Structure 1
Amino acid sequence: MAFGTKGDVYPIAALAAAFACDQKQYDVVLVTHSAHEILRSQLAEKHVEYCAVSSPPVLSPDQNNDIAGGESSFSMQKTMVTRDHRRECYSIVEQIFGDGPSLEGDFIVINFFALEGWSLAETFSVRCIVAAPYVVPYSAPASFERQFRRELPLLYKYLNEAPSGKVCWKDVIHWMWPLFTENWGSWRYDDLHLSPCPFTDPVTSIPTWHDRPQSPLVMYGFSKKVVECPEYWPCKVRVCGFWFLPTDWQFTCKKCREIYLFDSSRDQCAKDDLCPTHSELQNFLKTTPIFIGLSSVGSMGFLKDPQAFICVLQTVLNTTNYKFILFTSGYKPLESAIHVIGAETSSDWRNLSEDCVSLFNGRLFCFSGSLPYNWLFPKCAVVIHHGGSGTTAAALRAGTPQVVCPFMLDQFYWSERMHWVGVSPEPLSRNHLIPDKNDERAVQEAAQILSLAIRNALSPQVKARAAEIAETISLEDGVSEAVKNIKEELGLV
């Protein structure tokens, strides 16, 4: 059960597929948003069932998602979406586990945006395992422990005095603390008929001293060479290595995917061919361009003026000899801005295909589809991105220098971490990549800072460090390690 954007969900889907292939006696199901429908056929090939809920991956006030005639506030909309989302989750999990007694080996794997899975696992008496491609993207408020100790003194004592291997205060403060909010309490009590507070009796509200659960397995999908595992983390945390997706999952073009699979079946080492429709893209990549991709940043409301963003890139191109390949991630306002600017400069733009547009005398190549990053990034000089865990990992594996511009949650962690390990210059502020308005001064300032960041990323020191880390990561297999950890947790090895 994985919710959130592509970067939150796809690594968990990769684990589901790998586990299904390794343990064929299991019926494996992925529960996620209908927005990730493209996974259905890919998972089916790996014998994983895809079950969709209708909630969106991101609910942003900037998206203007209206309900009930458009008169309700965003807060009311969020409440209603959450209510319907939880009902759908319960219905799906009931269909999976509700027809008979749960088996000893049954379990639910959740990511940090699918915390309802913890209570559903409790409802249906199955084990819950946490899997995340990044460190916890939030931390407990400074007052959390003080309030917890005051309001739940017996439970605080229960958790702090836990025997070795049992759920304890380290688990709570590391990632479980959101489970103890009223946001979950009423749903647990009214809908699931559980105690409002985990680890307490539903009738007496006293901690379940007689039944102490094991500390839950928490698996992280990143490399120990990049992120250290500190001693204060819970005992059941496992750092597996990065969870990379199957390469063929990452082609939006079916013909390109078929060519890749055909080349793979012939054991070709250099699988560089794209289909004829994308021959211009393939030729452009031979120039070793700079990649720019912001993934879901636009759909989350951060790209307020796409034309200003394109003008920043144009200004950089006017003062350097760089070339850019821009992945639009299907964000319609950005693609519209590209066509508007193209129409205004009709002498130097070409609409090459349904998903390819060339601007500024062929120096900016805009692509609305997707290609495997492990195929693409080694062909690029620099990777400019938002700090998503998947893009960060792919750039590390490719050994390509990075320029990172974070916007939210774990992106700030990854941007600082990439600078700390030496594969990128200091992180950009968002207005230094995407100004809020198309103001000449703001665009010029952003272009100067972006140009400097690219120049620093191309320094011999950064390039050497990126190549060094790539060599280390190449020895790891994070997905296989995660499957191994699940099997050990379930006693299958």
Structure 2
Amino acid sequence: MLITLLAAGSRGDTQPYIALGVELQKSGYTVRIAASEAFEDLIKSCGLEFYPLLGNVSKIADNDKLRQAMSADNPLKVIMSFNTMKNYAYSLQQGFYDACQGSDAIVYHPGAVIGYFIAQTLDISSILATPFPMIPTKTYPALIFYNSVRLGKTFNLLTHILFQKIRWLISKAPIKQFWKDKFGSIPRNFIDPFSQLQSENNLTLVACSNYVFPKPQNWSKEVHNTGYWFLDEDDYWSPPDKLSEFLLAGTPPVYVGFGSLGNPAKATQTTELIIDALQLSGQRGILATGWGGMTKLNKTSQDIFIIESVPHAWLFPKMSVVVHHGGAGTTAAALRACVPSILIPHANDQFAWGKKVYELGVGAKPIPRKKLTVEKLSAAISYALKKEVKVAAKTLGAKIQRENGVKVAAKLIIDFLKQK
């Protein structure tokens, strides 16, 4: 049986699907992952089939309009970014469609909801696998509203419904246009798939820890909060000698990296700010430049090590504190590592993860990127290094490690498909 996983977005969005693919493969399934060409080497190194989507997602950092759309830092800006994101989304639909041909089942990211309609056309099963909670509940607000004012349970429920509508509006027009271009009509039963998630015929997987966002009681038995999906990359990656030497040369450093976020035009300024904050707090640091949010400087002190990227699963447990942008995948990796976090949210759901980390007592109060200063970051590092924060981070990390969400998710998929 061939299961195709449709991934969408940056490494933090894609890597959990690779982990799921590896686990399904262990059970004898053939797994194909459709993702940006930026992840071809990683996917193939894990022994999975790779289907390249149009363009390299890392190039978004070079496109001002797309970067600004992805950097929406409040619900209104998310809605206003529709037109820009719809144009980019249209270019992906053909790749998603082609990747699914010959499949026996489709597992899709919320950003690849066309998978639901492709499965209908091929008369096969589809499964939504979301890296963040998006099923309506009164227990807490939708993530893009999580950092806003709290107005009670009914308001919480409404924010989830609105968030689902936003996700569907972003996807609806590109799917409709692609389908018309290819088939001359719209998909049959062209309704909002997100509104069908709790029906008996569907399986929905939420790749989130129950120790972070516990499963609300109102979710149906078809929706599962499995725990995070981690890809242990130790088997696929070896550190450069200079990095190993730096780690052995002193106390555990502070990691700072903003992944796919950050403004390349301000990379030098941001890098200097981070280094000044580390020096003010008396800490060594490892800086990951990512897609250009920071950059290598001509000269730095021996207490600073700058590298493009390092697998989080390998590096984070060796850190004293992890400072990052707050993407869902990076947040999960930091929590699992048993070390405190400091989130510097740039956009979208990152503000929610920042607030949740602080609420859980495993990190400092988040600092929005627009408000980041040397003094604020230095103070946050000192706060994160408090004994009670370190103990809380270690306790939560141990619980998350025991969940083994990717095994749970794979078994749920296998059992679901056997019933079909």
TM score, norm. by length of structure 2: 0.79
Q: In structure 1, what is the equivalent of residue 270 of structure 2?
A: 309
* Matched position secondary structure for 1:37: helix
Q: How has the CA–CA distance of structure 1 residues 92 and 378 changed in structure 2, closer, same or farther, with 3 Å as cutoff?
A: closer
Q: Which runs of 5+ in 2 are unaligned?
A: 1-5, 67-80, 136-140, 146-157, 193-197
* 2:256 counterpart of 1:292: yes
Deviation at 1:385, TM superposition (A): 0.7
- 1:483 is the counterpart of 2:403: no
Q: Is the 8 A contact 1:378 1:398 kept in 2?
A: yes
Q: Distance in 2 between matches of 1:75 and 1:393?
A: 27
Q: Map 1:50-69 onto structure 2 (within 5 A).
A: 50-57=50-57, 60=60, 63=63
| CA distance, structure 2, for counterparts of residue 319 and residue 237 of structure 1 | 47
Tell which has more relative contact order, 1 or 2 (C-alpha 8 A, sep 6+). Answer: 2
Counterpart amino acid of 2:110? F
The residue that corresponds to 1:334 in the other structure is: 294
Q: Which amino acid aligns with 1:334?
A: M
1:416 aligns with 2:365: no
Distance (Å, rounded) in 1 between the aligned partners of 2:359 and 2:328: 16
Aligned to 1:20: 25
Q: Which amino acid aligns with 1:191?
A: K
Q: Which residue of 2 aligns with 1:128?
A: 126
Cα distance, 1:76 vs structure 2? 8.8
Matched, 1:10 2:15: yes
Aligned-pair CA distance for 1:10: 1.0
**Counterpart amino acid of 1:50?**
F
CA distance in 2, matches of 1:179, 1:474: 33
**Deviation for aligned residue 1:130:** 1.1
Return the TM-score normalized by structure 1. Answer: 0.68
Consecutive unaligned residues of structure 1, counting only runs of 5 or more, are 67-73, 98-105, 143-168, 201-211, 257-273, 343-348, 350-358, 434-445
Match of 1:31 among 30, 34, 39: 34
Cα distance in 1 between the residues matched to 2:403 and 2:329: 16
Residues 322 and 432 of structure 1: CA distance in aligned 2, closer, same or farther (over 3 Å):
farther
CA distance in 1, matches of 2:268, 2:59: 24
Map 1:223-372 → 2, pairs under 5 A? 223-248=209-234, 251=237, 256=238, 274=239, 276=241, 278-284=243-249, 286-298=250-262, 302-329=263-290, 331=292, 334-335=294-295, 338-339=296-297, 342=298, 349=299, 359-360=300-301, 362-371=302-311
Deviation track 1:183-236 (CA, whole Å, cap 9, x = no partner) reads: 433434553444465259xxxxxxxxxxx9744211111211111222343442
Change (3 A) 1:172 1:77: closer
Whole-Å separation in 2 of the counterparts to 1:380 and 1:139? 31
Alignment partner, residue 355 of structure 1? none
Post-superposition CA distance 1:271-309 (Å, at most 9, x none): xxx55454433324x4211111111113xxx45411221
Q: Which amino acid aligns with 1:367?
A: I
Paired residues, number: 376
Give 1:37 deviation, angstroms. 1.4
SS at match of 1:225: coil
Change (3 A) 1:65 1:244: same
Change in Cα spacing, 1:404 to 1:179, as seen in structure 2 (3 Å) is closer
Shift in Å, 1:370: 1.4
Aligned counterpart in structure 1 of residue 319 of structure 2, from 362, 376, 380: 380
| Separation (CA, whole Å) in 1 of partners of 2:232 and 2:404 | 12
Match of 1:264 in 2: none
CA distance in 1, matches of 2:255, 2:143: 36
1:107 maps onto 2:72 in alignment? no
- Given that 2:33 and 2:43 are in contact with CA atoms closer than 8 Å, whether structure 1 keeps it comes out as no
Query: What is the alpha-carbon root mean square deviation over aligned residues?
Result: 3.5
Structure with greater Cα Rg: 1
Q: How far apart are 1:393 and its partner, in Å?
A: 1.6
Question: CA–CA distance in 1 between the matches of 2:212 and 2:337?
Answer: 14
CA displacement at 1:9 relative to structure 2: 0.7
Give secondary structure in 1 for the equivalent of 2:374. helix
Question: Given residue 308 of structure 2, which amino acid in structure 1 is its aligned partner?
Answer: S
Superposed, which structure 2 residues align to 1:148-167 within 5 Å?
A: none
Q: What amino acid is aligned across from residue 412 of structure 1 in structure 2?
A: F
Mapped to 2, the partners of 1:228 and 1:449 lie a distance apart of 31
- Cα displacement (A) at 1:247: 2.4
Contact kept? 1:385, 1:404, Cα under 8 Å: yes
- Counterparts of 1:421 and 1:76 in 2: how far apart (Å)? 36
SS of 2:415's equivalent in the other structure is helix
**3-state SS in 2 of match to 1:425:** coil
Distance 2:278 2:10 in 1: 31
Aligned equivalent of 2:395 = 468
1:85 CA drift (Å) = 2.2
Percent same amino acid among aligned pairs?
Answer: 26
Matched to 1:366, the amino acid is I
**1:217 alignment counterpart:** 203
Q: Distance in 2 between matches of 1:385 and 1:88?
A: 31
- Structure 1 residue identity aligned to 2:30: D
Q: Distance in 2 between matches of 1:319 and 1:249?
A: 37
